[in-house]
């Protein structure tokens, strides 16, 4: 009996190790694929947001509990919508990269638009502690996430002045070239 229990235990251990190895292999392959890409658009957990299509016209909540549509926010020189969550380390990395571009004067503050799915009181505290100066709005109904099948964050979407999606990325490690961004947004 003890030998049977020991063999079953070893069998379960082998299965767990094999499953962990398969998961690790898939994760490494996925990570390598995203690191190899030089273009900001990554195949990600959304198939409904496509480069070349019009950015969705969403109604977002403002800091004074009013509403504003994304179509009203697109700057004459284009905009970047940064979808984020409080407490998400990759989101913090990405928002800090956008803030650095603002601080260096390489991109205008009003061109970067934060969007969170949490209540704004939490987001505003988060933004203040991290020195984020760009406006952040709320999509507490998760309309964007549900309608566009977005399941991962952060997500940065570069939108041209005519409202067309120019590029997007889920990868917080991507470095943004200000000249290329400004060119994409102004087209």
Per residue in 124-153, pLDDT (tens digit) is 999 999 999 999 999 988 999 888 888 788
Q: Greater confidence, 133 or 49? A: 133
Residue 5 has pLDDT above 90, yes or no: no
Q: Greater confidence, 77 or 37? A: 77
Q: Greater confidence, 131 or 30? A: 131
User: Are 24 and 67 in the same domain?
Assistant: no
User: Are 182 and 126 in the same domain?
Assistant: yes
The confidence score (pLDDT) of residue 27 equals 36
In a domain, 41, yes or no: no
Sign of CA dihedral 100, 104, 107, 113: positive
Q: Residue ranges of the alpha helices (H) in 44-88?
A: 70-73
In a domain, 177, yes or no: yes
Q: What CA–CA distance (Å, rounded) separates 170 from 155?
A: 5
Q: Residue ranges of the alpha helices (H) in the chain?
A: 2-36, 70-73, 89-103, 120-130, 143-147, 178-186
User: Are 126 and 77 in the same domain?
Assistant: yes
In a domain, 15, yes or no: yes
User: Are 166 and 123 in the same domain?
Assistant: yes
Residue 174 has pLDDT above 60, yes or no: yes
Residue 182 has pLDDT above 90, yes or no: no
In a domain, 43, yes or no: no
User: Are 31 and 69 in the same domain?
Assistant: no
Question: Where in the sequence is the domain holding 85, given as residue range(s)?
Answer: 59-186
User: Are 28 and 71 in the same domain?
Assistant: no
The confidence score (pLDDT) of residue 115 equals 96
Check which CATH number belongs to the domain holding 141 and give it.
Answer: 3.40.30.10
Q: What CA–CA distance (Å, rounded) separates 162 from 75?
A: 9
Interior angle at CA 134, CA 31 and CA 142, nearest 5: 60
Q: Is the pTM of this model over 0.75?
A: no
Peptide bond into 154 cis (omega under 30): yes
- The total number of structural domains in the chain stands at 2
Nearest alpha carbon to residue 176 among 104, 101, 83, 81: 101
């Amino acid at each position: 009996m003890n030998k049977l229990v020991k063999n079953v235990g070893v069998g379960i251990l082998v299965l767990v190790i094999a499953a962990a190895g398969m998961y690790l292999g898939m994760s490494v392959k996925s990570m390598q694929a995203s690191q190899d890409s030089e273009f900001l658009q990554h195949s990600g957990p959304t198939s409904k947001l496509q480069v070349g299509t019009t950015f969705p016209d969403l109604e977002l909540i403002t800091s004074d509990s009013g509403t504003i549509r994304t179509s009203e926010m697109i700057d004459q020189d284009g905009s970047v919508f940064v979808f984020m969550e409080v407490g998400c380390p990759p989101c913090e990395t990405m928002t800090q990269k956008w803030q650095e571009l603002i601080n260096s004067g390489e991109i205008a503050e009003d061109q970067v638009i934060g969007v969170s799915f949490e209540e704004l009181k939490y987001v505003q505290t988060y933004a203040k502690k991290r020195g984020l100066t760009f406006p952040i709005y709320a999509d507490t109904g998760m309309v964007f996430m549900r309608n566009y099948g977005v399941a991962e964050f952060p997500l940065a979407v570069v939108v041209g002045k005519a409202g067309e999606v120019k590029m997007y990325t889920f990868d917080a490690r991507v470095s943004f070239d200000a000249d290329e961004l400004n060119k994409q947004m102004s087209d």
